[in-house]
Structure 1
Amino acid sequence: MTCRDNGDYCGWDKSAVKGLAATVWTAAVKGLATEAEEKAEILRDRFRLSAVSIVESEVKKQGMEIAEPVVACVADLAFKFTEQLARDVELFAQHAGRKSVNMEDVIISAHRNEHLVGLLRSFAQELKGKEPAIEKKRKRSSKKKQSPDEGEFSAL
């Protein structure tokens, strides 16, 4: 019989054991949160670098010049817009009773921009055209089976 089996805390104060357990749990949760925050920061940095690259490329195509603070501001705004868009489409999917986002959620998120909605709808149609045809399984009807001697019309 170990000290845990009989409710003894092996000479430790019960409150100290609970405090230690809470500390370990908090550290584990913070470790997971820190890891998630690190991944989010890496994603944010990569997104901003891509946005900066796109802005600089477009500015060069137009033969213009742009100040570095403006480029940083555009990259930051693009990231914040994308974060909001992600929250919106997630809410649309939840409202529809789904756990995952689909193309219709993205199209709905663009409802304020008719031109963008049109582009997204045509893009969605192109994607559907490229998709291999998948047969949907039909549910069996719940009609009562007829016996061989019963026809469509039964005698009354």
Structure 2
Amino acid sequence: MSQEAEQLERLRTEVWAAVMEIVSQACEELDIDASTQFQTSLAEVVFKQALSLGQDLEGFARHAKRKTVNLDDVRMMCRRNSGLRRAIEQFITQLQDSSE
């Protein structure tokens, strides 16, 4: 297995673990159960969406003739989702305020 493939598998494992933990906490708070099939399906969707998002962000940076993704790329990524854009802008503001 190549180094890139190993890294991708480690990332998948970490995403799956994080999703499983979040689902477990939500189930506990809501006093509900989630099947293993639901949890693994959700983890896979989150992982694939993260990969797609990363590719889009890299594409925006490349289009701007940059090698590094920045906040402008993140803003561009959520331009068609006003709720997500507001949440991202609030998060960016909090980051900037905390770093001052």
TM-score past 0.5 threshold: yes
Contact 2:23 2:39 in 1 (8 A): yes
* Alpha-carbon distance, 1:57 to partner: 1.1
Listed as ranges, the gaps of 5+ residues in structure 1 are 1-32, 133-156
SS in structure 1 of the partner of residue 80 of structure 2? coil
Pick from 97, 109, 113 the counterpart of residue 65 of structure 2: 97
Higher RCO structure, 1 or 2 (CA under 8 Å, sep 6+): 2
Aligned counterparts of 2:98 and 2:35: Cα–Cα separation in 1: 42
Q: Could you tell me the percent identity over the aligned residues? A: 27
The equivalent residue for 1:118 is 86
The runs of 4+ residues in structure 1 deviating greater than 6 Å are: none
Aligned counterparts of 1:109 and 1:66: Cα–Cα separation in 2: 31
Aligned counterparts of 2:94 and 2:3: Cα–Cα separation in 1: 38
SS in structure 1 of the partner of residue 2 of structure 2? helix
CA-based RMSD of the aligned residues comes to: 1.5
Pick from 53, 57, 67 the counterpart of residue 21 of structure 2: 53
Residue 71, structure 1, aligned to residue 39, structure 2: yes
SS in structure 1 of the partner of residue 67 of structure 2? coil
Aligned counterparts of 1:38 and 1:111: Cα–Cα separation in 2: 33
Bigger Cα Rg: 1
Residue 86, structure 1, aligned to residue 25, structure 2: no
Aligned counterparts of 1:99 and 1:37: Cα–Cα separation in 2: 22
SS in structure 2 of the partner of residue 41 of structure 1? helix
Number of residue pairs matched by the alignment: 100
Listed as ranges, the gaps of 5+ residues in structure 2 are none
